[in-house]
Amino acid sequence: MSPTTTIITLLFFLIPTTLSQNTTFTFSSFTLRNITLLGDSFLRHGVVGLTRSTTVPASSSGTLLYNNPISLIPNSSFSFKTSFTFSITNTNPPSSSLNHFSFFINSTTSFISLDFHTNNNHVGFDFNNSSVQKTVDDTVVFNFTSGNLITSWIDYNGFNKNLSVFLSYANSSFSSSKPEEPVLSVEFDLSEYFKKTEILYLGFVGSAEGSTELQQIMNWSFESFQFLPVNQTQNKNSSFHHFGYQVEDIPASNSTKNHHRKRFVIGLCVAIVGPCFFFVLLLVLGYVSFRKWSSLNKLKKSKSSIGCPKEFGYKELKFATKGFHGSRIIGNGSFGTVYKALLVSSGTVAAVKRSRHSHEGKTEFLSELSIIAGLRHKNLVQLLGWCVEKGELLLVYEFMVNGSLDKFLHRELSHECDILLSWVQRFNIVVGLASVLAYLHQECEQRVIHRDIKTANILLDGNLNPRLGDFGLAKLMDHDMSPVSTLTAGTMGYLAPEYLQYGKATDKTDVFSFGVVVLEVACGRRPIEKEGQEMVNLVDFVWGLYSQGKLIEAVDKRLNGEFDEVEMKKMLLLGLSCANPNSDERPSMRRVLQILNNEALPLVVPKVKPCLSFSSGLLLSLDEIVSDFDEGLSSNQFSCKIKIEPS
């Protein structure tokens, strides 16, 4: 059963009804007396609209439901005939195969519907999701979306098990002649589908997906008959014959009257409670549908505008990660958990990033997908593909065999790493990181502010070359616009002071984080480390030694003096200049790359670390500032000191 049919079936129980066995009615124009309108449907001047009238493409759906369901007589043969006049107007060409207009007869377990597919002028007969379609005869020249009035007749004969559909254009007064030949004729035994039920509901449903399509019903008539075989009839005086069958006029017994009385009381209760529940249900369904449409719309725009890589299937990625087993976890980032995956289709190893199943996670997913897919640099982690299925948001990257840089610098956190990075390798890592940041800041069509530069987000390939990853916090911005972040996020120890204060991300906040990484690579120390009972800030530690003329003592002792002292001092001073508390004094990443390549002179670094002055009121709380911590640290294990002077 389709989702639309399921929702309609659920709503039947909320609408007070009166049962009938043989049903006849005619609506030359509509009122709300005997019908119920659901979803986006509306009533205007006696005409029912099933979809919204919009000037721009939108998605909408609505239902017209006849209030009095049909009560079937057991073992009877059910026949009906109905006719209705409708019009469908679309100012734009049909854009979706989901656009359809349908007449339906439903029970709680089965349904049949006659579908008018407006994108291809098909008439389809659907019974329990098994459909028969036929293109309207070209000689008739029908165009469902022309806005012209069209009358449809549907005749079902329960004796010969045949359903026929006739179509004809109508004039402005809705008059037209029924054609001699049907546009669709199907041999079909309706009793096989409704034999287990006694109640049938009927009406219309319309749906338009990303379209300006307006679907309207001008009038509707319906007549049904129920026949019993003659040999089953006991009271012939209260019946009449038709096609060898006999229509029963069943007298109402006392038990039947009591049954109807109970149904009336139940219906009255439902009439009071039902509308409230129905209203809440519509609000919930509308909200969920809007959120889903909004997320998918963003994803479609990202995919169509930049040309995303391969879209993977969820089953393939689940199999590749052994069902996202804990043994396959290789890291955690701002986006979520990272798994090692073996892609059977290509026989390659990849890294799969899985979101945290939150609205913020979807936002980060779309951000990372739209940014990474459009970037090309040798020091960026390559995006192989993505997946949005079963409520999961997944990104597939090339696998970096040597993992993240922090595992090499801080060996106490990884006993599997036996490689000590040499001076040459460390210098190469710093140059590669500077190169990719210069590309992001100055060489892209739109500047990319990463906002979470740290050693845990710098991966090393098989040759220990750096690859920058984790763009879950990145922001795109034009070169001539002032970049503003709506929420401070990142990792403590790498965040620039002005970013903590005002929550504004710029290329200079990335430069500050880069400076901390440079000092971390040279010194082999974390940005914030515990010494005794105090937490020591790496920038303060190196600047203190520089003030005492002992800068070289900050170098990682594990190098055993095997480095170029001049180049090492230049790297340390470069790290301090990038981590200057005053953002105006920090160099651009292009200037940093020139200094590392000996194409520009190093900046003059003051012997004493400059003090940063703020107004006395901090704008953000610590909870708003911190989004992610290094492994093994928690929020109560360190403190960050900021000097604040009265304004």
pLDDT one-digit tens code per residue, 493-507: 898 988 888 778 889
Q: What is the pLDDT of residues 635-645, one digit of tens each?
A: 333 333 344 34
Per-residue model confidence (pLDDT) at position 197: 60
Mean pLDDT of the chain: 77
**315 is annotated as contributing to ligand binding:** no
pTM of the model: 0.50
Higher-confidence position of 181 and 356? 181
What DSSP string describes 334-380? SSEEEEEEEETTTTEEEEEEEE-SSHHHHHHHHHHHHHHTT---TTB
Per-residue model confidence (pLDDT) at position 395: 86
Window from 279-293, 439-453, 614-628 with minimum mean pLDDT: 614-628
Torsion sign, CA atoms 46, 47, 49, 55: negative
Window from 148-152, 332-336, 425-429 with minimum mean pLDDT: 332-336
Q: Which of 195-204, 406-415, 573-582 has the highest mean pLDDT?
A: 573-582
Decide if 118 contacts 99 (C-beta within 8 A): yes
pLDDT value at 29 more than 70 = yes
Q: What is the pLDDT of residues 352-409, one digit of tens each?
A: 988 765 444 556 666 667 677 778 899 999 888 888 888 788 889 899 988 889 888 9
Q: What is the pLDDT of residues 120-162, one digit of tens each?
A: 777 888 776 666 655 554 445 678 888 889 999 999 988 888 8
Rounded to 5 degrees, what are φ and ψ at 304? -75, -30
Per-residue model confidence (pLDDT) at position 458: 93
- What would the mean pLDDT of 68-72 be, rounded to a whole number? 85
Instruction: Encode 216-253: b = buried (16+ Cβ within 10 Å), e = exposed.
Output: bbbbbebebbbbbeeeeeeeeeebeeeeebbbbeeeee
Instruction: Encode 96-125: b = buried (16+ Cβ within 10 Å), e = exposed.
Output: bebbbbbbbbbbeebbbbbbbbbbebbbbb
Window from 16-20, 264-268, 382-386 with minimum mean pLDDT: 16-20
What SS3 string covers 246-268?
A: EEECCCCCHHHHHHHHHHHHHHH
Residue 452 annotated to the active site? yes
Q: Which of 152-156, 254-258, 383-387, 620-624 has the highest mean pLDDT?
A: 152-156
Active-site residue identified among 40, 115, 406, 452: 452
Window from 231-245, 268-282, 483-497, 590-604 with minimum mean pLDDT: 231-245
Per-residue model confidence (pLDDT) at position 333: 64
Per-residue model confidence (pLDDT) at position 561: 92
